[in-house]
Amino acid sequence: MTDTAAVLSDWQLHCARRTVAAGGVIAYPTEAVWGLGCDPWNQAAVERILTLKQRPVEKGVILVAASVAQVRFLLDPLPVALQEQALQHWPGPVTCLLPDIHHQIPRWVRGRHDSIAVRVSGHPVVRALCEAVGHPLVSTSCNPAGRPPARHAWQVRKYFGDQLDWLVPGALGGNRQPSRILDIATGQRLR
């Protein structure tokens, strides 16, 4: 583990890793709001998040990673110019839409899209979690559809109570708004 793991105890990382590996759903602090996460390759776990949020699968969800290395498999098929577009925003609070040329990400994560929303986070808790599990995580705001995203652990508990498998402790980053979303192929800012 790198020094980002120091933000969580070994026990907290073990519990989060074990929960994600078992198909569980976790809540954790991100740059601006609390997020819900799980293993993106576990369809039942992703569907559980979508049910909790009352979010249709067609919309898709974001993947968050600890490093560029964790998403290199999505970048390598892209033209160098598009790779450079994404890399100039990471690590940080910018989510880039990457064309998923070889459909490497399951449809229950991509939704109806041919691209995948990806962020390489600079938040120490997010990075520690992704490093602990060894791959990107699903990251979607921790709130039912139509409700404000949780900005405090008590709001997470109020929204979801015991429906979550693990609440990872930590503080939000300093951002006031959720990550910007940028389509690197068109340059269009979507959020």
Mean per-residue pLDDT, 73-85: 96
The answer to whether the CB of 40 falls within 8 A of the CB of 106 is: yes
Helices and strands, counts by H and E, the chain: 7, 8
pLDDT at 6: 62
> Residue 5 to residues 123, 125, 154, 188: CA-CA distances in angstroms?
11, 8, 24, 34
* Nearest C-alpha neighbor of 119 from the set 79, 142, 86, 80: 86
pLDDT at 168: 97
Q: What is the pLDDT of residues 136-164, one digit of tens each?
A: 999 999 999 999 999 999 999 999 999 99
What is the spatial distance between Cα 153 and Cα 20, in angstroms, rounded to a whole number?
19
pLDDT at 2: 42
Tell whether the model's pLDDT for residue 109 goes beyond 60: yes
Q: How many other C-beta atoms lie within 10 A of the C-beta of residue 161? A: 8
What is the spatial distance between Cα 36 and Cα 139, in angstroms, rounded to a whole number?
6
Domains, the chain, in order of start with CATH, read 3-183 (3.90.870.10)
The answer to whether the CB of 26 falls within 8 A of the CB of 20 is: yes
Tell whether the model's pLDDT for residue 127 goes beyond 60: yes
- Strands 34-37 and 115-120, bridge-based pairing: unpaired
What is the spatial distance between Cα 1 and Cα 162, in angstroms, rounded to a whole number?
30
Report the percentage of the chain scoring pLDDT > 90.
89
- Rounded to the nearest integer, the mean pLDDT of the chain is 94
Per the model's pLDDT, the better-predicted residue between 1 and 183 turns out to be 183
Q: Is 43 exposed, middle or buried (0-12, 13-18, 19+ CB in 10 A)?
A: middle
Amino acid identity for residue 58 in this structure: E
> pTM for this one?
0.93
The answer to whether the CB of 117 falls within 8 A of the CB of 96 is: yes
